[in-house]
Amino acid sequence: MKVKSFLFLFSFFLIGCSSIYYEEASFCFASKDEARNVGHFMMDNGFTSRTRFFIDGTSQNIEGLGFAWDGFKVDGSCQEGESQLKLIYQPKQQSDFSRTDVIPAAKIAYQLAFKEYRAL
């Protein structure tokens, strides 16, 4: 499962290098390592399938939904010295779901998974 999510993230960042992605939400952490660890935890624990469950009750992945914790300009969303974890949605092709469907569901999935992360 971890290899699968790593490959997903790796391919996502390769795509991100060649195209523009859109930030949908931003979360602040004490360090870039913590932001990365939370991003990995989310993806390793089915973040996209959890998000999909809130949209239509199925547990299939949502292509183009993920996180970025590096490789972008600091935009002032976080305080000095904090690092951002950005929730992004950038499907490669026409998707069955619009941003207005995906992002609110992704924020709920993030909040629930973050509680799990903090409980570790």
- Give the domain ranges of the chain: 2-119
Mean pLDDT value across residues 1-22: 44
Strand partners, 26: 86
Residue 24 is predicted with a pLDDT of 80
Give pTM, 2 decimals. 0.78
- Quote the Cα angle for 102-108-111, to 5°: 135
Task: State in Å, rounded, how far the first CA of the chain is from the last one.
Answer: 19
Sheet containing strand 65-68, edge to edge, reads 23-29, 83-89, 65-68
pLDDT in tens, 89-118: 999 888 889 999 999 999 999 999 999 999
pLDDT score at 58: 96
45-67 per-position pLDDT tens digit:
999 999 999 999 999 999 999 99
81 Cβ contact list (under 8 Å, min separation 6): 30
Question: Is the alpha carbon torsion for 98, 74, 14, 43 positive or negative?
Answer: negative
